[in-house]
Chain A
Amino acid sequence: MANSERVKKLASWLWWVVAVLVYALPVTYFIVIVILVQAPDWPQNVFPEASAGAQQGWVAASLVIALALVLVLPILHMLVEMRSLFGNYRRGEILTEASARHILGIGRAMLSLAVLKVVVPAIQLLLLTGDTLSFGLNDNFVIFMLAGGFLVTIGWAMREAAELAEENRGFV
């Protein structure tokens, strides 16, 4: 029981943090993008690989910006799932199917983010240069893939635990 009390207490704090981030993160991200694209040579600043012969057409630039905004979607999805998960936990709904589903959702969003963080910059560079396609796999990709895979596995395990808990609740 001490553990569930600890979960409730920590989840209450985390719920507030995530609830703020759900709104603050997209706004901050949008502001950063707006500031970045103010500079006339922003493609070269953001993509040093695009220094030579970068296309300055507004269509390509708009697509690059739109793709940058796509990256925020899995993060936002992750935060919304976290808010729901911590909301469940602070109400004491720990071993439930809904909580397991939220953990799975966070894991899947993290896996999507890992892939998008590789694919999106490559497409952006291609749009800016017209002929350069470059994929960069860094340690972030590995960490996000591992963390996402870990959370998906935990989500499946929690689903099993929730089923057992539900069955156990039927016993006196």
Chain B
Amino acid sequence: MEIVVRLDVMLARRKMRSRELADLVGITEQNISLLKSGKVKGIRFETLAAICAALDCQPGDLLEAVPDGTHAG
């Protein structure tokens, strides 16, 4: 299994830009971009909680476990 970040989907649903989210969460836009592309080793609970608060969603809305090799990202 691999964990896929669905942040771009939630951003689209909430019609929010990455920069706005970065400002609300207090991390850089570059880190938001890395999160969206899944190029991070992990996400701190603190960051996850801040993103959930900013996007009014649950962690499960942002993260999804998919079988290996099925994610084309």
Residues 138-172 of A at the B interface (beta carbon under 8 Å): 167, 170-172
Q: Could you tell me the distance in whole angstroms from the C-beta of B6 to the nearest C-beta in chain A? A: 15
Q: How many residues of A are counted as interface, with CB atoms below 8 angstroms from the partner's CB atoms?
A: 4
Q: How many residues of B are counted as interface, with CB atoms below 8 angstroms from the partner's CB atoms?
A: 10
Q: Which residues of chain A come closer than 8 Å to B42, judged between CB atoms?
A: 170-172
State in angstroms the CA–CA spacing of A171 and B34 once bound together: 10
Q: Which residues of chain B come closer than 8 Å to A170, judged between CB atoms?
A: 40-42
Contact with B along A119-150 (1 / 0, CB 8 A): 00000000000000000000000000000000
State in angstroms the CA–CA spacing of A170 and B40 once bound together: 5
Q: Could you tell me the distance in whole angstroms from the C-beta of A96 to the nearest C-beta in chain B? A: 17
Q: Could you tell me the distance in whole angstroms from the C-beta of B55 to the nearest C-beta in chain A? A: 15
Using CB atoms and an 8 Å cutoff, list the residues of chain A in contact with chain B. 167, 170-172
Using CB atoms and an 8 Å cutoff, list the residues of chain B in contact with chain A. 27, 31, 34-35, 40-44, 47
List the 7 shortest-distance A-B pairs measured between CB atoms, nearest first: A170-B41, A172-B31, A171-B42, A172-B40, A172-B47, A171-B44, A172-B35
